[in-house]
Structure 1
Amino acid sequence: MDIMGNKHLLLMDLRIGRRYSNSFYNVVKRLCEELMNQFQHTQKVLDNFTFEQIIDNRLRLKVSIDTIQLLAFQVLDKALKNASYTSPKIQKEILHIFSTKVKNAIREEFGDAKYCIIVDETRDELKNEQMAIVLRFVDKDDIQNIRRQRYDGASNMRALVAASKAVIPIHKFFPKLTFVFNIVGASCKRNDELKVAQAVEIEHMIDIDKLETGKGLNQIGTLQRARHTCWSSHFKLVSSLIKIFSPTCEVLLNIINEGTTFVQRGDTDSAYEALTSFEFVFILHLIKEMLEITDLLCHALQSSTKAFLQKFREDKWDALLANMKSFCKVCNIDVPNMNVPYIRRRCRARDHQDDFTVEHYYRVDIFYATIDSQLQELNG
């Protein structure tokens, strides 16, 4: 005898309860269907049951359902026959009762102690705004036991990254960064290709004595996803991209040459062109250095972070530019002549020459402007 064949028998017994509550009947019906679905997954086990075991199991299930029916009917018999306990109005009333009890319990707990209310908002993964209201207080009998308080720096990081986007080249950089990540990290196959390319590069660098060997060194990794609600993850993304820049380029070139569709090859070509431009690489290094400093907001005082940023602005331009040129040389990226007049590109046509040099553009319009946006945000 197959226990799956008894589903209709159970539901026939349940129809007796319909005169009491259609809602309850539907709930128990869904319960039975879920139980039957679970039985399907264990059919091999059930096939080995004896006839007596099947009868006993059916009896236990029927008794359990009858018991649930009896208890529910005792409640429903005392209620109005047209009562509905799943309507939005009833649910709101129940929530109101719960909230009132919670508020009364909180009032009793902290009495006349001081308290504060924090209202914060953020975006979830679907980019929907979420607001949280937090009541912070200390028990009236325990305030003398306070030692310290700690705060999350995620909102500060978000404000700083948002402030940096006020600089147009930085604002254009982040979509390109996400574009590159989405192409390279689109599938397990591409992640595997990225790891293989890293292994080949590490082996080559070791052969030419450009890398040290030892335990924990030269680990193979992937690009770190930048999450909208966790701004410190942007620092991890730019750091990982700098570390595996050449393998990332190799994966993009493979897609351009072997992509299955014109759209795929065209999008990848655009990503590769953006990734290997001097401006993108310059901002990539600038953002990495800047976020490495501002990440200290989560661990240090705000004034210290401002001091680090100011020192970086005043002293680190030459070091950043030298590091950039060395990086571009390794990755075969053309470094523009910093002393020639800067020519602005508009709609892909170089039709306007400004009255300043290429170095002025990168140093003043991007380097200084980006750091100043951070300092202004911190001062505010």
Structure 2
Amino acid sequence: MKQVDINKFFKRQLDVGDNNCEGTSKKIGLMKIIKSICDEIGKDVFSILVDESSDVSKKEQMAIVLRYVDRLGIVKERFIGVVHVLDTSSLTLKAAIDTVFSNNNLTIDQVRGQGYDGASNMSGAFNGLKSLILNENSFAHCIHCFAHQLQLVVVAVAKKHDDVEEVFEQLGLVVTVVCGSCKRKYMIREMQKERVAAEIGIGETETGRGLNQEISLVRAGDTRWGSHFRTIVSLLNLFAEVVTVLKYVKEEGSTLYNRNQAKGILSYFKTLDFVFLLHLMLEILCLTDTLSKPLRKKDQNILEATSLVKGTKKALLVFRKDGFPQIWKKVCAFSEKHSIRIVDMSEYYVTPRKRRTNKTNQHHFEVVIFNTILDMQIQ
């Protein structure tokens, strides 16, 4: 038998023991911190902030934060842990909260505020977590985050316009198709590297710290702040690469459905309507994204929030009055770069399905789309 180095053997055991002790000690330390937070609250009232998501192993989990005022009158927000749950139904989340409260000598009766995202399992009027808590405690008022409400309102109102709704449907579809495999993601990454290197070589792109970072298509989500804005930005930056991947899927897709899907997206992407709507929503979401960032500040008050909303509304009014020539110039430059046909504004508008109308292109893009969408947002 091979002789074992006794000293090394015991050192390994000690190292394992140290790691176990360290993990146990961290757990005990965390429990002490949570206990001190709950002891500080005592029998006073507090608000609860909850969000659910999955971890890297795809296990559902719920994060819980308590917001309260201490004995010195200072408002505090304290994270008290992440709880793994079997699913994210409102009943499961409520049971998990009851367990956390019970373990820390807290009760539902002490809750005076609730804060969640806009998902139905959280904020639903009948069966959401909000309603389950309100059934036990009518004083647990639910307050929706200003910035989150802004995101939901802007996108929901924009989708009331049929053309904008189609744009967002196509954006979701293209992310699914293009990011549907590791090979397609790799293709986009490599093509982007080559394009940026070429642009730097001819002086079209600046270099410097933080510039020319690798980017990918972002999937939009109604409950994620600014995600629609980031989706549009990423698509505009990767438009050439996305078109190339769609052409690849159109020719080499594994199924007829995938090939037809890519063909339909490509056809839509080559229309001037899509390019115009993409740039218009970029401008609108850019203005509202600027507003949503300060609304997420912890120390924001209602007067400041109202002032910021008024400022954004004023910016939208100015954009509606003077912005069309500016955005049309950007649309034409983008279309020329990507070989998309630019129309004569004095000619009659022809729909993407090749139907001629009795309205000019100028009237279609400026009145039917630009003015109408902005009026909806301003209202």
The interval holding the TM-score normalised by the smaller chain is 0.5 to 0.7
CA distance in structure 2 between the partners assigned to 1:304 and 1:286 by the alignment: 19
Q: Structure 1 residue 214 and structure 2 residue 208: aligned?
A: yes
User: Against the structure 1 CA distance between its residues 121 and 208, is the aligned structure 2 distance closer, same or farther, given a 3 Å change threshold?
Assistant: closer
CA distance in structure 2 between the partners assigned to 1:230 and 1:130 by the alignment: 19
CA distance in structure 2 between the partners assigned to 1:375 and 1:158 by the alignment: 15
Superposed displacement of residue 344, structure 1: 4.2
Question: Equivalent residue of 1:224, what SS?
Answer: coil
Superposed displacement of residue 155, structure 1: 1.4
Output aligned runs, 1:72-221, within 5 Å: 102=107, 106=110, 122-123=118-119, 130-132=128-130, 151-221=145-215
1:328 corresponds in structure 2 to 335
One-letter amino acid of the counterpart of residue 329, structure 1 = E
- Say if 1:197 and 1:250, in contact at 8 Å, map to a contact too: no
CA distance in structure 2 between the partners assigned to 1:126 and 1:248 by the alignment: 35
With normalisation by structure 2, the TM-score equals 0.61
1:54 corresponds in structure 2 to none
For the pair shown, the structure with the greater C-alpha radius of gyration is 1
User: Against the structure 1 CA distance between its residues 178 and 125, is the aligned structure 2 distance closer, same or farther, given a 3 Å change threshold?
Assistant: farther
Question: Equivalent residue of 2:276, what SS?
Answer: helix
CA distance in structure 2 between the partners assigned to 1:297 and 1:214 by the alignment: 28
User: Against the structure 1 CA distance between its residues 340 and 186, is the aligned structure 2 distance closer, same or farther, given a 3 Å change threshold?
Assistant: same
Superposed displacement of residue 276, structure 1: 2.1
- Say if 1:121 and 1:130, in contact at 8 Å, map to a contact too: no
After superposition, give the CA deviation of every residue in 1:189-218 in whole Å (9 maximum; x if it has no partner): 211111011112112222322112223221
CA distance in structure 1 between the partners assigned to 2:191 and 2:122 by the alignment: 33
Q: Is there any run of 5+ residues in structure 1 with no aligned partner, and where?
A: 1-87, 108-115, 138-148
CA distance in structure 2 between the partners assigned to 1:270 and 1:177 by the alignment: 12
User: Against the structure 1 CA distance between its residues 121 and 210, is the aligned structure 2 distance closer, same or farther, given a 3 Å change threshold?
Assistant: closer
Q: Which of 255, 264, 271 is matched with 1:270 structurally?
A: 264
One-letter amino acid of the counterpart of residue 218, structure 1 = N
Question: Equivalent residue of 2:118, what SS?
Answer: strand
- Say if 1:184 and 1:251, in contact at 8 Å, map to a contact too: yes
Output aligned runs, 1:19-30, within 5 Å: none
Output aligned runs, 1:251-262, within 5 Å: 251-262=245-256
With normalisation by structure 1, the TM-score equals 0.61
Q: Is there any run of 5+ residues in structure 2 with no aligned partner, and where?
A: 1-90, 295-304
- After TM superposition, the structure 1 stretch with the greater mean CA deviation from structure 2, 276-285 or 209-218, is 209-218
Superposed displacement of residue 101, structure 1: 7.1
CA distance in structure 1 between the partners assigned to 2:123 and 2:338 by the alignment: 36
2:371 corresponds in structure 1 to 368
CA distance in structure 1 between the partners assigned to 2:273 and 2:243 by the alignment: 16
Counting helix residues as a fraction of each chain, which structure ranks higher? Answer: 1
- Say if 1:157 and 1:297, in contact at 8 Å, map to a contact too: no
2:357 corresponds in structure 1 to 353
Output aligned runs, 1:10-49, within 5 Å: none
Q: Which of 313, 325, 345 is matched with 2:320 structurally?
A: 313
After superposition, give the CA deviation of every residue in 1:136-159 in whole Å (9 maximum; x if it has no partner): 79xxxxxxxxxxx99541112101
Question: Equivalent residue of 2:349, what SS?
Answer: strand
| Total equivalences in the alignment | 261
Question: Equivalent residue of 1:153, what SS?
Answer: helix
- Say if 2:155 and 2:222, in contact at 8 Å, map to a contact too: no
Identity value in percent: 28
CA distance in structure 2 between the partners assigned to 1:125 and 1:204 by the alignment: 49
CA distance in structure 2 between the partners assigned to 1:192 and 1:175 by the alignment: 24
One-letter amino acid of the counterpart of residue 224, structure 1 = V
User: Against the structure 1 CA distance between its residues 367 and 125, is the aligned structure 2 distance closer, same or farther, given a 3 Å change threshold?
Assistant: farther
Aligned residues: CA RMSD = 3.5
Superposed displacement of residue 362, structure 1: 0.9
- Say if 1:275 and 1:281, in contact at 8 Å, map to a contact too: yes
- Say if 1:309 and 1:371, in contact at 8 Å, map to a contact too: yes
- Say if 1:173 and 1:283, in contact at 8 Å, map to a contact too: yes
One-letter amino acid of the counterpart of residue 193, structure 1 = M
Question: Equivalent residue of 1:211, what SS?
Answer: coil
Q: Which of 221, 239, 247 is matched with 1:227 structurally?
A: 221
Q: Structure 1 residue 303 and structure 2 residue 310: aligned?
A: yes
One-letter amino acid of the counterpart of residue 213, structure 1 = T
2:57 corresponds in structure 1 to none
CA distance in structure 2 between the partners assigned to 1:266 and 1:103 by the alignment: 53
CA distance in structure 1 between the partners assigned to 2:165 and 2:267 by the alignment: 18
CA distance in structure 1 between the partners assigned to 2:224 and 2:185 by the alignment: 23
Superposed displacement of residue 274, structure 1: 1.4
CA distance in structure 2 between the partners assigned to 1:256 and 1:344 by the alignment: 24
Q: Which of 341, 346, 353 is matched with 1:339 structurally?
A: 346
Ranges of 4+ aligned residues in structure 1 off by more than 3 Å = 95-98, 116-121, 124-131, 133-137, 149-152
